[in-house]
Structure 1
């Protein structure tokens, strides 16, 4: 005798109950993150009016149980929202974009090269003719002196990084002004 229940189990290709529950909990967690955002950032997200109002209500709710229920409702409404777009925007706000990170690493490398090599400043001034060479030389000199002083510190003493940071900011400003031109 053949058991027909095995045929149904083999034919089902949809997600498991566990998978559905994981997805719903992920949407609920995303909803919790949205409730923690300030209203200015919420307005920048692609949220429909009903979801936006539910999030704002959750933000205004002070009772613990009421807030929990409202956050749960926000998670339920998240099923109709574009969660992928919202998640990517939150990730950019939290971590910055890859392009921004690469740009900051490029500027850090340039700063390190300027502190290590005098020829790097000449190359930089050729690349950015409008740059204030005197200010950069002063920052580089102060940064090198700061690095020497930091090398002589005893263990446990905090190193000074004022000129190190000032040079980075000058490079960042130089880069931003050249992009606008």
Structure 2
């Protein structure tokens, strides 16, 4: 291969450092996207697969690097989307609605009712949250009663996540 040929190939190639920086930027953009609601994500120019994986990120525990691996995968999926188009669309998104915060308050109230209450509150919560199971709610209640004060907040957070899923 002639020396002229080598220089033209090298000048057209993107350096490994540049590729890594671009991949890191996509991963950071993906991490920002994990904070958006489903409605906000659907209004962005994203593939359905990417939206699904962004929502999955929030359901994962942070044990054994699960979220880190998921972010890597989200970064990989981001390569198929136009990052500039997404970045330009983010400021145009409507702000999170007040319904979300009122819904969180309502769930927190239900959580307190379940943890402090009796079977009646559990029965009412089964009507309010049809995706939940009686056995699981009773288990949360028993653990909460037995738990030390320092562990109770963790159990309450777990119950809130369960009610939201």
What is the TM-score when the length of structure 1 is the normalising length? Answer: 0.45
What is the TM-score when the length of structure 2 is the normalising length? Answer: 0.49
Structure 1 or 2, whichever has the larger Rg, is: 1
